[in-house]
Structure 1
Amino acid sequence: MGDGGPGLVVLPALQDRLPAVEGDPRVHRACLDRRSGAHVHRGHRRRAVVVHRADPADGGPGVRASGHAPQRSSIPAPAAHPRFGGVRMTDGIVIAGGGLAAQRAAETLRRAGYADGLRMVCAEPHPPYDRPPLSKEVLTSERRGDSIRFRADGWYVENEVDLLLGVRAAVLWPDERVLHLSDGSALRYDRLLIATGARPRELPTLAGYRNVSTLSSLNDALALRDVLASTARLVIIGAGFVGLEVAASARQLGAEVTMIESAPAPLSNVLGPVGGWFTDLHRFHGVHVITSTTVTAVEGDDRFRLLKLASGQEIRADHVLVGVGVSPDLDWLAGSALPTSGVPVDAEGRSQAEAIFAAGDAALTFDPQLARHVAGSHWERAARQGTRAARAMLGLATGEPPLESFWSDQYGIRINYLGHAPAADAYAVDGDMDATDFQVTYTREGRPVAVLLVGRPRELPQARKLMTNGGSLELLARN
């Protein structure tokens, strides 16, 4: 027996729920109440099961893929479950992913009264957690994984959500409604939410060096924190929001920071010329910002020692963080007829494939201003998409589509961003940019399409209201 948290004892689960392979080192665990000895369950739901599996792709023990396609005869037969609101749920709902969209979907399903099977397939060994702190608080403090988790263990037990940790979605059979996992097991589903997030892009020039990393997971952040504790010189390639936040955190810790950006200014693809303000901000705080250039060559053995830039400059450093964007983590959709570059969905998260929804970084939503489906990686977008997709799965009203929004903290300055600035044809600045107290309103044909607030968090509700209501620039100025 092991400890499953306060008031809980961990015991092996029934093998017919999640069949193990002979010699499989995975631990199948179910939670019992320590005081009463009873299974924790409510209504007609199945009891909660937490399965910790080591994914061979992460370097741990586990059931390795055999190299051939899974056989349909190996799929367990479905079990019967009651109906919810007229929606027949025989095999329950599977959520592929363990990020924000996935967590919000699980919470919404249970809050809405859905009481059938609910399983979350989480690639990481950690229970679902919040990612914005990775580039800020986790780097600059002693915070560990437990402090940024969405929910404690007890929530998943009480709400009977089966967490499958350290295992990835591997193969999807949409016609059969079967999701194969990286450990060789398979799950049937009535509804599937694709919320596997994104993975960081890498630079081939820097591939294979031990002192080069990316930042997208808790383990990445903890490793980078250890690096910063003993590293004097950090190079950040890419000046997006994550790169900018890491630069601010590293400077707070006393590191010497160089930031290399291929564009004329940080975030210029999003904010246009206003991105130059971020250059000034970081230079003021001691960051060496180099723009309009790229890394062309590297010198080193297993660790790089010198970066050569297209501009002719040479940079010596102890560590490089690559932050040049992300790509949807959807390679496992190959062969399923769903695109691996992002799943197009409607306003409620439905894909073109029956019973399959998508949310967060995995989803492409239609932008009427750009007249095409676009990706988005903002926190609030993922949260609201997960909520809307969950309600749509149950046939419930989903409300209005979410407004794109993002926030960042750099050097103690709160930065808020609403909307989609690349759709704008003009912008106006109100306030004092030098005093880090200003607002930038991006407009298209006189209507606001995006707002950037710097040092003005109290004005966020009004900006959100005007964006949602489609107010004019003149109205925005008067308010």
Structure 2
Amino acid sequence: MHTIAIVGASVAGVRSAEALRHAGFDGRLVLVGDEPRRPYDRPPLSKAFLDGSLEEDALGLLDAADDAELALEMRLGVTATRLDPAGARLALSDGSDVVADGVVVATGGRARRLPGTEDVEGVHTLRTLDDALALRTALRGGPRVVVVGAGFIGAEVASTCRSMGLEVTVLDGLPLPLEPVLGARIARGCVDLHAAHGTDLRTATAVAGLVTAGSATGGRRVVGVALGDGSTVGADVVVVGIGIAPHTGWLEGSGLALGDGVRTDAGMVTDVPAVVAVGDAARPPGGRHEHWTSAGEQAAVAATNLLAGCTRATVDPSGYVWSEQYGRVLQLAGHPAAHHDVEIVDGDVAAARFTARFADAEGRTTGVFGMDDPRGFGRLRRRELRRPVAV
């Protein structure tokens, strides 16, 4: 291969570039990104960047030494519009194209929105740096904040807003948020953080729509959220954290199998061996893995297989994910199910500092969890899952 195009300039794309160089590829590497900015890290957007304690220049994924080592040809601020695998041609929104011997699809996903809210002022999603900048501005002046969705992103935004002294209400349709992932006992410990820090969490709550009023710009501005029981929660800012949709529409007609992402085998290889997919846009046999760590794990394997022209390696996902909420670090590794047994190995759930082990019906460890105990979590993970700690 002489030229490889990487479509997507977030962590999955950057890790793919690093993996390709590490695997010995010394040809032309073209990195295509739809944002005009250089690649940046997303996790701080809901935390330190949102409250203003971290600035944009600290988010970069690449420094001068990385630039020299990777020798990337960056095409930023343009969108991939079409892929012709047979002709190895990638069409871009500026009318240009890239002819490549191999393609890495790392286009990630788009934040899901509440239907009909696209033109309503005060309604935000949090996926990009522009999203974070707009939300950071909107949080000035002490607005009432409503967060729709109590998953990790929603909980992180609520935590950050509370640390800024804002009034926060979190709405979630599940009776116990995070229970499908962590089981009832651990999920309860996570949910209790909200109440302990003054956040009004309302579970089993349906959102019926938004309450709006005329704005100074002549449009509509949110003033509240209407709930399924007929009540209303006042709001000046609404943050929607209800997941993402894989950004794969541009691949329609390419011949690649699509469905909840780009379909790949366990080695991240698509139906066309010269095309691999990684990150949030990829849909391997076990399902999509929307986690920062997964991007690196997938990229290393995808690079090996792309250069080989066939599947020689497969991904063994660690399942590692972490979150910071209300001054505590939450860490999970492995692949537990909600019905698995939970053993508190150390600490106390009520004290919001503990480590726990998940086990299936045969007693085999399926995952480990830690709250506010990174060292204990690391020890437990090494002992039970026999894999290095991700940082």
TM over 0.5: yes
1:121-140 equivalences under 5 Å are 121-140=32-51
Task: Answer yes or no: is 1:321 the counterpart of 2:239.
Answer: yes
Q: Which residue of 2 aligns with 1:391?
A: 304
Shift of residue 456, structure 1, vs aligned partner? 1.6
The answer for the alignment partner of 2:373 in structure 1 is: 456
Q: 1:177 to 1:128 in 2, by over 3 A?
A: same
Which of 232, 236, 245 is equivalent to 2:147? 236
Distance 1:399 1:312 in 2: 50
Provide the residue aligned with 2:281 in structure 1.
362
Q: CA deviation at 1:467?
A: 4.7
The answer to whether the 8 Å contact 2:9/2:32 transfers is yes
Q: Please show how residues 77-476 of structure 1 align to structure 2 within 5 Å.
A: 89-90=1-2, 92-153=3-64, 155-273=66-184, 274-301=186-213, 302-338=220-256, 339=258, 341-366=260-285, 373-395=286-308, 401-422=316-337, 424-430=339-345, 431-445=347-361, 446-469=363-386
- SS where residue 139 of structure 1 aligns? coil
Superposed CA deviations along residues 445-474 of structure 1, whole A, max 9, x for unmatched, are 32122221112211333333345449xxxx
Secondary structure of residue in 1 paired with 2:366 = strand
* Deviation of the 1:124 alpha carbon: 1.0
Cα distance, 1:178 vs. partner? 1.3
The alpha carbon displacement at 1:154 in A equals 5.6
Which whole-Å deviations, capped at 9, do the CAs of 1:86-124 have from their partners, x for residues lacking one? xxx24x111010111110111122233311110011111
Moved more, 151-160 or 236-245: 151-160
Structure 2 SS opposite 1:229: coil
Distance in 2 between the 1:405 and 1:186 partners? 37
CA contact 1:231–1:318 (8 Å) conserved in 2: no
Cα offset, 1:348, TM superposition: 2.4
Q: Which has the higher contact order (CA 8 A, sep 6+)?
A: 2
Amino acid of the structure 2 residue aligned with 1:314:
T
TM-score (norm 2): 0.90
Provide the C-alpha distance between the structure 2 equivalents of 1:434 and 1:425, rounded to a whole number of angstroms.
20
**Change over 3 Å in CA distance of 1:424–1:469 after alignment to 2:** farther
Q: Could you state the TM-score of these two structures normalised by the residue count of structure 1?
A: 0.74
What's the CA shift for 1:268? Answer: 2.0
How far does the alpha carbon of each residue in 1:232-263 deviate from its partner, in whole angstroms, 9 at most, with x for none? Answer: 21000001101101111111111110000010
Percent of aligned pairs sharing the same letter? 37
Query: What letter matches 1:191 in structure 2?
Result: G
**Deviations 1:16-40 (Å, cap 9, x if unpaired)?**
xxxxxxxxxxxxxxxxxxxxxxxxx
Say whether the 8 Å CA contact 2:148–2:240 is kept in structure 1. Answer: yes
Which residues in structure 2 correspond to 1:6-85 (within 5 Å)? none
Equivalent residue letter for 1:439: T
Amino acid at match of 1:106: A
Secondary structure of the corresponding residue to residue 120 of structure 2: coil
3-state SS of paired residue (2:121):
coil
Question: Which structure would you say has the larger Rg?
Answer: 1
Structural RMSD (CA): 2.0
Q: Relative to structure 2, which stretch is displaced further, 407-416 or 419-428?
A: 419-428
SS in 2 for 1:463: helix
Q: In 2, distance between residues paired with 1:309 and 1:327?
A: 24
The answer for unaligned runs of 5 or more in structure 2 is 214-219
3-state SS, counterpart of residue 139 of structure 2: helix
Structure 2 letter corresponding to 1:329? H
- Matched residues in 2 for 1:196 and 1:103: separation? 11
Secondary structure of the residue that 2:61 maps to in structure 1? coil
The whole-number CA distance in structure 2 between the counterparts of 1:423 and 1:365 is: 22
- Number of aligned residue pairs: 375
Tell me: CA distance 1:353–1:466, structure 2 relative to 1, closer, same or farther (3 Å): farther
